[in-house]
Structure 1
Amino acid sequence: MINGIDSPYKGSGGLTREQFLFHETRVVARLMTDENLSDQEIIDRVVSENLFQFPTERMIRNLAGVCVKRLHCLDDNYTYASLYGVERMVNCDIKTSDVTLRGISVEEAIKSLISYAVGCMFGRYSLDVPGLAYAGWTWDDTKYVTFKPEEDAIIPICDDEYFNDDIVGRFIQFVEIVYGKQTLEENLQFIADALGGKGSSREVIRNYFINDFYADHVKIYQKRPIYWLFDSGKKNGFKCLIYMHRYQPDTIARIRTDYVHEQQARYRTAIEETEKRLESTTGSDKVKLTKKLNTLKAQDDEIHAYEEKIHHLADQMISIDLDDGVKHNYEIFKDVLAKIK
């Protein structure tokens, strides 16, 4: 979709290797417009204040330069500018012949948008303030007006609508707030089409969160994820995300009592209801219900075993030191977290 030649930024804004840099590009765009800084002044500002919160100066400087060059090469149809949320910050009226971005896909852009939305759910980012809103410092509720983050910093991921505020419900709320209620269904379908898969838009989005989101997150953060996936196993009996910077000694106890136990109760109810329906069902419907019942029972067995594991950790009220790093802290809870591959 985006190709071109003879630009002064030729070959320097490719989107084929680095992550999509949704948050970082918004930071740079604001510096461009609000403070009218030169390209070099923007890069120096990002580095000196560590606005990206990356671990090394070299990485920050390199990616700041990438963001500057991408913003100079936005396509004139506003598609990617809109995905970044910077269409009002930068000049998008650039001829296609002047653009040298190659290899970018809408799927990458949508996955970056989803990642940013999850960051907003945890309070890492906010729709109301630029840059990082929270990464371990003093929490400030006044930063979150338009879209409220999860109060307990725990987000369940379910294969059905067991919780009203699971990750799919919260993502739909985010899309509605950002892009409007009138176009919600159209936008959800656009997102689903970009992700690919069968079923309704909500089903496709749910499948992405269950099966692929965490793998993408781990890849972006080079096997040092800032969001941690509590995962019962292959049957998807229980999954939830937490944000390591908001971890508290009672977080696992909250997961166990407020989510694992609730999920177990929902499985028991679903099993009972399915068994009753089977008594009066025949033919192909009975086959489908039997399959569903077997899945529910397998998930119930899996979460029962998982509850015992998480119970042991919950009772310990473990504290972590963020300075010890992701790898060290993740290892403490390896028995109840998803394996990093």
Structure 2
Amino acid sequence: MKNFRDEKGKLRSTLRSIEYNFHEAITMSRICSGITSFRYLQKGFITEGASNNIYYDDEGFKLLAFLNSKVCDYILNVYNPTINIMPDDLRKLPLTYEKFEYNFCENVKRNIELCKLDWDSFETSWDFKRHPLISVISQNRTLFDDITDIDLAECYTCWENECNERFNQLRANEEELNRIFIDIYGLQDELTPEVEDKDVTVRKADLQRDIKSLVSYAVGCMFGRYSLDEEGLVLAGQPFEAHFFEASAPVCGTGFAGASGASVPIGEFYYKTDEGVKKCTYNPDKDNIIPICDEEYFSDDIVSRFCEWVKIVYGEKSLETNLDFIAKALGNKGNTSREVIRNYFLNDFFKDHCNTYSVTGSGKRPIYWLFDSGKQNGFKALIYMHRCDADTVGRVRTDYLHKAQKYVETAMQSAQYTIDNATSASEKSKATKAVTKYTKQLAEMRIYDEAIAHVANQRIEIDLDDGVKVNYAKFQGVEVAQEGKKALKVDLLAKI
């Protein structure tokens, strides 16, 4: 970056204060429309231009406590009542450490710990390990003593209690710090120590948000990004075979996994550990393609795989109860829990995923990509971009799109037979609507097939170093010839 120049040799970037890179610091946004907040920046990071950093020697936690207090916010508003906080504003603060006799550093450290626990509970954190609605099971073994019958609603209650406890503890700690600084600066007549709920920076439990994040974690397990057997990120660019093995023979001594002579069902998956090879609790998807259909055409579509995942995690006895709980939380349309879940995957999952993996100012950066034939929901399938290779598009076409077309054709023939032989008007009307739907879907899928064939033949490979935006564009805007008309541009992937 020091020598990043244009074609004329002019430097295109200037690096300043690089001696402070990767150091522990206090960071803040330059523009703040609400209460000014200062954050602890741990070692190993570089900040960008929209923030200021404060580097310190020994008094960092005391400084952080003061900067986040009501007293500091009050004084900054006197100095500078605008939304832009500049370094000079901070230099003017009447900060005298000798007045800080009370040892509140442990309070500050605890606040940082509470905030980190909250942040790490969700998969966008670098230190995310396992979804909290699963972690609570091992944390409450006396409550969840029967692993075949775990109530997800009870898991959520445990998580809700944990969130409330963290929320209340953080608020109490911040109010105590406010009280200390109000006393030190003699501002009892101007300020009160209380902190409003909206100003507490850790999240409370939210049923719909947390169930949707559980669904997202389940999809991650399907692709091998996460695993029920291991904490944190598992696959993120390395070959699938580098970590997972599929049993290839009925006796595992003649295949990949296990000790010689043990009986292993073909198709079971195993994963590598330092202690050897172990059986997967939940099998990841081998070909990195999971179809999403509006009807159950594939036995291993995303709804079937999700139901299997829920059964493995929470037990077979409570499966239907847990699916009902999930469906109610999602809130989609449907007469049964499986229909609701199917409609969520069909209509809302990818939108939620894009919102989760979005970058402020840069847009959406999904890691799961949705092959989508269009508005008629003729064909949809998810892939994991970190496992995408030159043959992925070809497999989507031959192993899934073509099969889906045959399933729809068969369903249309069945509906047409019902029309021809219906004994009631309602039955005939329902079948007529189905034929109309299938006709539109097949027309959509034929155009999509032409587009996907063109890309499949190119055997496009992606470069993860180029990021989502560049790689995603390689599969968009494919031209399909139309007789007597202008070529039609078709996107293989859902628009982001």
CA contact under 8 A between 1:71 and 1:90: conserved in structure 2?
A: no
CA distance in 1, matches of 2:402, 2:112: 43
Deviations for 1:30-74, whole angstroms, at most 9, x for unmatched residues? xxxxxxxxxx9xx96xx76x9xxxx99x9xxx99863425799xx
CA distance in 1, matches of 2:412, 2:162: 58
1:337 maps to 2:493: yes
Going from structure 1 to structure 2, the CA distance change for 1:94 and 1:113 (only over 3 Å counts) comes to: closer
Aligned to 1:22: none
Which secondary structure does the structure 2 equivalent of 1:229 belong to?
strand
TM-superposed deviation, 1:105: 1.8
Deviations for 1:295-329, whole angstroms, at most 9, x for unmatched residues? 01111111011000000000011111110110000
1:140 maps to 2:248: no
CA distance in 2, matches of 1:305, 1:247: 23
CA distance in 2, matches of 1:98, 1:171: 31
Which secondary structure does the structure 2 equivalent of 1:86 belong to?
helix
1:68 to 117, 121, 125: 117
Going from structure 1 to structure 2, the CA distance change for 1:277 and 1:185 (only over 3 Å counts) comes to: same
1:215 maps to 2:381: no
Aligned to 1:277: 418
Q: Structure 1: which amino acid aligns with 2:367?
A: I
Aligned to 2:133: 83
Aligned to 1:268: 409
TM-superposed deviation, 1:174: 0.3
Going from structure 1 to structure 2, the CA distance change for 1:98 and 1:235 (only over 3 Å counts) comes to: closer
CA distance in 2, matches of 1:299, 1:214: 20
Aligned to 1:256: 397
User: Number of residue pairs matched?
Assistant: 280
Aligned to 2:440: 298
Which secondary structure does the structure 2 equivalent of 1:315 belong to?
helix
CA distance in 1, matches of 2:238, 2:113: 23
1:112 maps to 2:213: yes
Aligned to 1:161: 296
CA distance in 2, matches of 1:71, 1:215: 22
Aligned to 2:103: none
1:229 maps to 2:370: yes
Q: Structure 1: which amino acid aligns with 2:492?
A: V
TM-superposed deviation, 1:98: 7.2
Which secondary structure does the structure 1 equivalent of 2:370 belong to?
strand
CA distance in 1, matches of 2:367, 2:120: 27
Q: Structure 1: which amino acid aligns with 2:117?
A: V
Aligned to 2:267: none
Structure with bigger helix share is 1
Structure with bigger strand share is 2
Aligned to 1:12: none
- More moved, 191-200 vs 217-226: 191-200
Going from structure 1 to structure 2, the CA distance change for 1:102 and 1:246 (only over 3 Å counts) comes to: closer
- More moved, 99-108 vs 267-276: 99-108
Q: Structure 1: which amino acid aligns with 2:332?
A: G
CA distance in 2, matches of 1:96, 1:297: 52
CA contact under 8 A between 2:163 and 2:205: conserved in structure 1?
A: no
- Superposed CA RMSD: 3.0
Q: Which has the larger radius of gyration?
A: 2
Which secondary structure does the structure 1 equivalent of 2:403 belong to?
helix
CA distance in 2, matches of 1:297, 1:263: 13
Aligned to 1:205: 341
Give structure 1 stretches of 5+ with no counterpart: 1-39, 73-80
Which secondary structure does the structure 2 equivalent of 1:88 belong to?
helix
1:321 to 447, 463, 483: 463
Deviations for 1:191-227, whole angstroms, at most 9, x for unmatched residues? 0010113310000000000000000000110000001
* TM-score of the pair, normalised by structure 2: 0.52
Deviations for 1:265-301, whole angstroms, at most 9, x for unmatched residues? 1111111111111111131111111111100111111
1:185 maps to 2:320: yes
Deviations for 1:225-255, whole angstroms, at most 9, x for unmatched residues? 0010000000000000000000010100000
CA contact under 8 A between 2:118 and 2:203: conserved in structure 1?
A: no
CA contact under 8 A between 1:159 and 1:207: conserved in structure 2?
A: yes
Percent of pairs with identical residues: 50
Give structure 2 stretches of 5+ with no counterpart: 1-39, 52-110, 122-130, 142-157, 169-201, 245-270, 273-278, 359-363, 477-490
* TM-score of the pair, normalised by structure 1: 0.75
1:287 to 405, 429, 440: 429
Aligned to 1:170: 305
Q: Structure 2: which amino acid aligns with 1:336?
A: L
CA distance in 2, matches of 1:240, 1:204: 18
Q: Structure 1: which amino acid aligns with 2:327?
A: A
